[in-house]
Amino acid sequence: MMSRPDFMTKQVVYLESSDAKKLSFKNSNLVLSDKDDKIILQHSCHKTFVVFIRGEFTITSALLRNAKKFSIPLVFLNYSLRPYFTFNAGTEGNFLLRTRQYSCTSEIDIAKHVIANKISNQMQLMQSIRYKTKNERESIAAIQKILDSVRSAKHSQELLGIEGTASKLFFHTYFKNMGFEGRKPRIKSDIYNVLLDMGYTYLFQFIEANLHLYGFDIYYGIYHKLFFQRKSLVCDIIEPFRCIIDKRLRTSYNLKQIQESDFTCSQNRFELKRNSAKKYTELFLREILEHKEDIFLYIQSYYRSFVKNKEIAQYPVFHIIDEK
């Protein structure tokens, strides 16, 4: 398993087919080439954690073999930035961990811990708003009561209702000045939902890559329902970290980094223009990498707590705002 010092040297690589057409392997390096085999970029496999590949590429068998050898996930995205295939190279043979997953009897307690962490971070972001109005102060008080109610949840369906209520209140308050009409996943009814989908996608894939370091069955979660081909555990673990993307979106709006001209709209559905993707990809990936150590240590601690069946109080907590 990867150590913290090793992980901190790792980088995320993002590639687009507009830059080149061929991705191969040579001398322990990922090699990006154009259609004439001219090398555009070389990047050491030893320093690569995950590779995002957008568009159409030619992939060599040597690349796949060495991605497996160096445990480098390859995430393939279409031009709309939706993942359609992930080549993972995790430790699937950790049968002791998976046996523990399948026999766990404390799912609801772990789920309450995770969701309480998520709502706590939402409340921290709401509290960070300067010059709060009366309504905003009331919303903060309301979300505190919602957070308190997490402890009394008896089953996941009840917890889902609590989480949904908190999130609705959070989005209405935190993004109030942006003209944001509410979270509508995958509908893309405005540019902010497009960007949230985008940011959450990168965060999801980064967390999935971290979970594969330990050999989790990512389809077997503790909170989200189990559906065919649904990576329920990733859906669980991403919850406390969604605030990373939320905060980046609001900051980008305040800094006027979001331009309506970067988007198109057809039949009330917004899409990011192809040549504008790099701009927002950089914003979100930089933000995720700012917290990469937090994410690594959280999942490492989660693994140790889970496999050793520790008390819930010993499970990790992520704070979007440093409380020290």
CB 12 within 8 A of CB 34: no
Using the predicted structure, report yes or no on whether residue 232 has a pLDDT greater than 90: yes
Using the predicted structure, report yes or no on whether residue 101 has a pLDDT greater than 90: yes
Sign of the CA dihedral with 198 first, then 107, 214, and 88 last: negative
Using the predicted structure, report yes or no on whether residue 112 has a pLDDT greater than 60: yes
Using the predicted structure, report yes or no on whether residue 198 has a pLDDT greater than 90: yes
Instruction: Provide the pLDDT for residue 19.
Output: 63
In DSSP notation, 106-121 reads -HHHHHHHHHHHHHHH
CB 153 within 8 A of CB 109: no
The pLDDT tens digits of the residues spanning 261-284 come to 999 999 889 999 988 999 999 999
Query: Which domains are assigned to the chain?
Result: 4-87 (3.100.10.20), 95-314 (1.20.120.920)
Q: How far, in Å, CA of 310 to CA of 101, rounded?
A: 14
Using the predicted structure, report yes or no on whether residue 190 has a pLDDT greater than 80: yes
Q: How far, in Å, CA of 19 to CA of 248, rounded?
A: 27
- Compute φ and ψ for 83, nearest 5 degrees: -65, 135
- pLDDT-based confidence at residue 90 (cuts at 50, 70, 90): low
